[in-house]
Structure 1
């Protein structure tokens, strides 16, 4: 256990251990969890502490209690993000990129670009951009994603993209229509980090929970940035899927890779 983990409350460490068993399949959907007394004995703690851990997992939607029977692992439906094929799929249909989720526009307006976003836009931090902040909800109306799109003012200012309403089709198609320029290249940068207090509160996450933070940069054929967007998900709720051809020979790309 690392030093940070050792500082977490006991109930949080128990929740982490059970969550890992669920993630790896040692506890599969439908499996009954051991009795609270057994879990307490395993972790050398008290039953009330175990109940706190169970409350964390229940709030995350990982387990459910059935009165008079026990506690069971819930069947989970993780969101799948298929980054490489998203644009092509959206060109062939109407609606938004994530059209299975309910979109809510939290706020829209001109605001200074945060440092990390400004860096992707190739502008100085604090440069004004049009920002569209959104929240996405699943079929049970649970918050699944917090996100935002940042657009250069010369693209979006004074257009319907400044209105606090959900756009009628994928945002990139709206930008293409307004500018006559085409999205031709995209770069995704994903970071795993601990949730901020505000993020934990919105998602209903426990102390120390992780989120995945994606920053997506899209450029046109001249390499000019058309849009930078960010998406934040609870780390346990999303899977990234990528399918791509493998080059037959050297590509000339360099750099450290995992």
Structure 2
């Protein structure tokens, strides 16, 4: 059994990680009942000798808190029909290096635009681009494979130094995670990322593309990725209906004081 958090994580968290992975891989589909607690307890005791029923319940409680499963009194625990998408930024790259698939392989990707443009002002500012810098853009819409409903609008802005004239200028879905393609073409490895989150109202075009009301808020992420030498490798943006996604960030808390004044207002 593997875990996103590794062997140092509490047992209940590691069990929740495994069950979450199985749900996302389709082992348990929407509306399907999970095995009874006693069956899960017997199964996980092979990896965690002495596992208690309360620890097993704590693991299921994590999934309930995330909206992945729901309990029906006297019946059992079922996979939620309309669960929120989850983004765990710290684990996305490692997972994709392991499975060599798209970062969102469970969704259907449609490339809506490929070309060379001067990025929008917000993108240019967050990426510290020189005025007038031209980049290759790849815009996409991601759909739920079962319902056909749009889940996410996205775009990636890529430096001409490696993207120009490459297959990244073709209007086709790439065969693996885009960052792996960028590493192949640039000869550099992703080493640092910075995420900028913003809640806002959608534009008319965004509301139409996501098939949502213009009064329904969206969550807008701009993700800036660089190599170890600070070379810019990619700026990507993603837009979701705000009530359809959950951002989960897990990290170690410093044991002592740190002088990081000015880096956080809240």
Q: TM-score, normalised by structure 1?
A: 0.69
Q: How many Å separate the matches in 1 of 2:183 and 2:123?
A: 21
Q: How does 1:232-247 map to 2 (within 5 A)?
A: 232-247=239-254
Counterpart of 1:257 (choices 236, 248, 265) is 265
Give the total of aligned pairs: 186
SS in 2 for 1:85: helix
Which one has the largest radius of gyration? 1
Q: How does 1:81-100 map to 2 (within 5 A)?
A: 81-100=87-106
Say yes or no: does 1:169 pair with 2:154: no
Q: How many Å separate the matches in 1 of 2:246 and 2:95?
A: 18
Q: 1:127-171: CA deviations, max 9, x gaps?
A: 210000011001211101001000111120011111110111111
Q: Structure 1: which 5+ residue stretches go unaligned?
A: 1-29, 31-73
Deviation at 1:248, TM superposition (A): 1.8
Deviation at 1:75, TM superposition (A): 4.0
Q: 1:56-99: CA deviations, max 9, x gaps?
A: xxxxxxxxxxxxxxxxxx94211101111111111111210011
Contact 1:113/1:125 (8 A) holds in 2: no
Deviation at 1:126, TM superposition (A): 3.3
Say yes or no: does 1:158 pair with 2:169: no
Contact 1:176/1:182 (8 A) holds in 2: yes
Q: 1:192-238: CA deviations, max 9, x gaps?
A: 00111111112222232100000000011011211000000011110
Contact 1:193/1:213 (8 A) holds in 2: yes
Show the counterpart of 2:28.
none
Contact 1:192/1:210 (8 A) holds in 2: yes
Contact 2:152/2:239 (8 A) holds in 1: yes
CA distance 1:251–1:91, shift in 2 (3 Å)? farther
Q: How many Å separate the matches in 2 of 1:214 and 1:109?
A: 21
Contact 1:115/1:126 (8 A) holds in 2: no
Counterpart of 1:136 (choices 128, 142, 149) is 142
Counterpart of 1:227 (choices 226, 230, 234) is 234
Q: TM-score, normalised by structure 2?
A: 0.67
Contact 2:150/2:211 (8 A) holds in 1: no
CA distance 1:145–1:75, shift in 2 (3 Å)? same
Q: How many Å separate the matches in 2 of 1:217 and 1:189?
A: 8
Show the counterpart of 1:79.
85
